[in-house]
């Protein structure tokens, strides 16, 4: 139904009443006056009276473009929620549909960023300041990601009538790409020094076989900390990578595909040296028999061993990069390596083809 130019329309969104103000009063932009009342017959009658009063002001050229004159007195004291409060509510809402792992890893990380923002206002000015802060203090990739999360949060809040607009939807896109750090695998000499470091350490010797396993399989860290004895078939000389352990929660592999890995002589000796447990037992644990905390392991144990052995620091995940590089240098087909480590051949070519040892140019 088409309304006349000066008509104020009573409507409802999500069961709450609002007044639709004529566009021509705001250069074509649609504005609404939120009444904070449920859509009931009595409240709708009251809203109609308010609409007629506004129409009268429009007709007699006394319309208040700030809309303050028409806001119900009980709404004047309504506090606009700050970003931190909104994010807490949004996290609770998303927690109903997302895994606890995602909430712990992603949403808490965003909350940490929010706590460091110079401004908590959910306004366009506030959003602009937050964008500038993120670009200044984070990588472009991180800035983009955090702003996407904040925009989604405010869009949800708008739908819940907690905000009248999403201030992050008006921001210009963060342009540019964060250059990827080149892969820098450990040489075999460095690998052997690291393993020797664990073997020689009274403090960290417990992790020696775990580190060897990482170097000899190239598996993801989450796969290694989550592997159970039921996944190792010594009769068939195969390891079945089916699951991963992330932040204490068991899930499928990163690619959502199970794969088998052949046990060669080196790896067989490592597995044979371990005390086999029940099928559901973890193969690798911390000294207290608990699941290995991979972040703490990298931060403390791994760092200490590399410093002791005088090896240039690289994160523990480089064991995976190193295994792939060793296989390439040994002439293993890319498709075969990809199958072993759970990558695509394209990924192997893209990230690893340029990091193998330099070869002599053949006679042609």
Question: pTM for this one?
Answer: 0.58
Same domain, 201 and 133: no
The last residue of a domain, from among 75, 96, 126? 75
Confidence category of residue 1, pLDDT binned at 50, 70, 90: very low
Average pLDDT over residues 94-113: 83
Same domain, 155 and 234: no
Same domain, 269 and 128: no
Same domain, 204 and 331: yes
**Are the CB atoms for 213 and 270 separated by under 8 Å?**
yes
Same domain, 283 and 237: yes
Bridging pattern class, strands 16-21 and 31-38: antiparallel
Among 150, 155, 57, 137, residue whose Cα is nearest residue 106? 150
CA 90 to CA 112: how far, in whole Å?
15
CA 281 to CA 93: how far, in whole Å?
35
| pLDDT 10s digits, 199-242 | 999 999 999 999 999 999 999 999 999 999 999 998 989 999 99
Same domain, 216 and 331: yes
Same domain, 314 and 210: yes
Per the domain annotation, does 104 fall within a domain?
Answer: yes
Per the domain annotation, does 236 fall within a domain?
Answer: yes
**Are the CB atoms for 96 and 80 separated by under 8 Å?**
no
Same domain, 157 and 215: no
Q: Is the four-CA dihedral 315, 316, 317, 322 of positive or negative sign? A: positive
Per the domain annotation, does 357 fall within a domain?
Answer: no
| pLDDT 10s digits, 134-156 | 999 998 889 999 999 999 999 99
Distant-in-sequence, close-in-space partners of 103: CB < 8 Å, separation ≥ 6: 91, 94, 95
Same domain, 232 and 271: yes
Q: Which domain holds residue 125?
A: 83-170
Share of the chain above pLDDT 70, in %: 91
The last residue of a domain, from among 55, 75, 95? 75
Q: How many domains does the chain have?
A: 3
Q: Is 270 helix (H, G, I), strand (E, B) or coil?
A: helix
User: Is 80 exceeded by the pLDDT of residue 357?
Assistant: no
| pLDDT 10s digits, 245-276 | 876 777 778 778 889 999 999 999 999 999 88
Same domain, 103 and 153: yes
Same domain, 208 and 99: no
């Amino acid at each position: 139904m088409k309304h006349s130019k000066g008509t104020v329309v009573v409507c409802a969104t999500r069961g709450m009443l609002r007044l639709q103000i004529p566009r021509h009063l705001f250069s074509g932009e649609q504005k609404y006056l939120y009444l904070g009342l449920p859509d009931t017959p009595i409240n709708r009658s009251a809203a109609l009276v308010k609409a007629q009063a506004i129409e009268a002001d429009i007709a007699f050229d006394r319309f208040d473009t700030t809309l303050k004159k028409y806001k119900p007195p009980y709404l004047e004291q309504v506090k606009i929620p700050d970003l931190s409060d909104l994010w807490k509510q949004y996290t609770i809402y998303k927690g109903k549909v997302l895994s606890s792992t995602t909430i712990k890893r992603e949403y808490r990380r965003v909350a940490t960023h929010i706590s460091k923002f110079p401004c908590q206002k959910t306004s366009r000015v506030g959003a602009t300041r937050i964008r500038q802060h993120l670009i200044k203090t984070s990588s472009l990739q991180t800035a983009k990601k955090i702003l996407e999360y904040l925009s989604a949060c405010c869009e949800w809040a708008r739908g819940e009538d907690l905000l009248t607009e999403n201030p992050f939807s008006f921001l210009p896109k963060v342009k540019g790409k964060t250059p990827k750090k080149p892969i820098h695998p450990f040489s075999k000499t460095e690998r052997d020094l690291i393993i020797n470091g664990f073997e020689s350490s009274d403090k960290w010797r417990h992790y020696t076989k775990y580190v060897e396993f990482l170097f000899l399989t190239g598996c993801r860290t989450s796969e290694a900390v989550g592997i159970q004895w039921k996944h190792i078939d010594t009769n068939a000389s195969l390891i079945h990578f089916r699951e991963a352990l992330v932040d204490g929660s068991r899930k499928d592999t990163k690619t959502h595909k199970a794969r088998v890995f052949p046990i060669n002589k080196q790896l067989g000796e490592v597995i044979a040296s371990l005390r086999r447990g029940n099928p559901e037992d973890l193969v690798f644990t911390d000294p207290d028999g608990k699941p290995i905390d991979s972040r703490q392991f990298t931060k403390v144990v791994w760092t200490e061993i590399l410093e002791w052995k005088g090896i240039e620091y690289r994160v523990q995940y480089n064991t995976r990069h190193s295994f792939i590089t060793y296989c390439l240098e040994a002439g293993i087909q890319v498709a075969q390596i990809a199958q072993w480590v759970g990558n695509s051949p394209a990924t192997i070519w893209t990230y690893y083809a340029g990091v193998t040892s330099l070869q002599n140019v053949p006679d042609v």
